[in-house]
Amino acid sequence: MSAQNTNGTAVITGASSGIGAVYADRLAQRGYDLLLVARDQKRLSGRAANLSAKTGRTVEILPADLTLRSDLLHLEERLRSDHTVTALVNNAGFGATSQLTDSKIEELENMIQLNVTALTRLTSSTLLPSLLSRRNCSTGPTAAPRHMSSTSLNPSITR
Ligand SMILES: NC(=O)c1ccc[n+]([C@@H]2O[C@H](COP(=O)([O-])OP(=O)(O)OC[C@H]3O[C@@H](n4cnc5c(N)ncnc54)[C@H](OP(=O)(O)O)[C@@H]3O)[C@@H](O)[C@H]2O)c1
């Protein structure tokens, strides 16, 4: 964690490009340390170095393919055990561009794994219970739990 005041750590999946990279930039500027997740380690490292130099925040990377169960479980464990985490941006994902009849079933399975299974597991089974239990805690980062997603998750997570 950085020496400056912090809002805790924001974990951003798919942080190496597009919408996720913008979230990373904006959250670092708003006082979050970052844990950036995506597959391409080199691209993640470059993004982390830039953001750290620009904002002075602590920026860590975790290369992971969230369609792979072992990588997903590794990230889940990190979310479960790292009590500095106060925000999760579930952004890694992709959309189908072909007609269903022209699509490869393996690609569709990957899409479901990333857009639905990974998002649901990261949110409901690991991070959310821990964030909600710490919501009224008086020590450590006490920001209200934050969750953002580029795809929809039902049932709603707010209460
Ligand atoms: N752009 C839009 O207009 C728009 C609108 C609505 C919703 N969305 C949704 O928002 C999300 C992000 O969109 P975007 O346009 O920013 O996409 P993008 O530029 O393609 O970025 C996708 C990010 O996800 C990472 N990623 C892809 N597959 C992954 C995997 N298996 N495991 C871990 N990380 C993975 C990519 O890095 P690596 O390749 O290094 O893994 C990259 O950092 C997508 O779910 C998209 O469907 C986009």
67-125 pLDDT, tens digit per residue, is 999 999 999 999 988 989 989 999 999 988 888 888 899 999 999 999 999 999 998 87
Position 24 pLDDT exceeds 90: yes
Query: Distance between CA atoms of 59 and 29, rounded to whole angstroms?
Result: 12
Domain residue limits at 59 = 9-137
Assigned domain for 150 exists: no
Ligand 1 touching residue 89 (CB < 6 A): no
Assigned domain for 145 exists: no
Ligand 1 touching residue 18 (CB < 6 A): yes
- CATH number for position 74: 3.40.50.720
Q: 27-43: buried (b, 16+ CB within 10 Å) or exposed (e) per residue? A: bbeebbbbbbbbbeeeb
Q: What is the pLDDT of residue 100?
A: 84
Assigned domain for 159 exists: no
Nearest alpha carbon, ligand 1 atom 34: 38
Among 11, 16, 121, name the best residue to mutate to test ligand 1's pocket (greatest count of ligand atoms within 8 A of Cβ): 16
Contact status, residue 46 vs residue 125, Cβ threshold 8 Å: no
Average pLDDT in the chain: 85
- Count of domains for the chain: 1
Ligand 1 touching residue 151 (CB < 6 A): yes
Assigned domain for 143 exists: no
pTM of the predicted protein model: 0.89
Assigned domain for 121 exists: yes
Question: Which of 20-29, 36-45, 128-137 has the weakest average pLDDT?
Answer: 128-137
Q: What is the pLDDT of residue 155?
A: 47
Assigned domain for 119 exists: yes
Start-to-end C-alpha separation, the chain = 29
Assigned domain for 123 exists: yes
Assigned domain for 59 exists: yes
Closest-lying ligand 1 atom to the alpha carbon of residue 71 = 32
Burial (CB count <10 Å: 0-12, 13-18, 19+), residue 106? exposed
Nearest alpha carbon, ligand 1 atom 7: 150
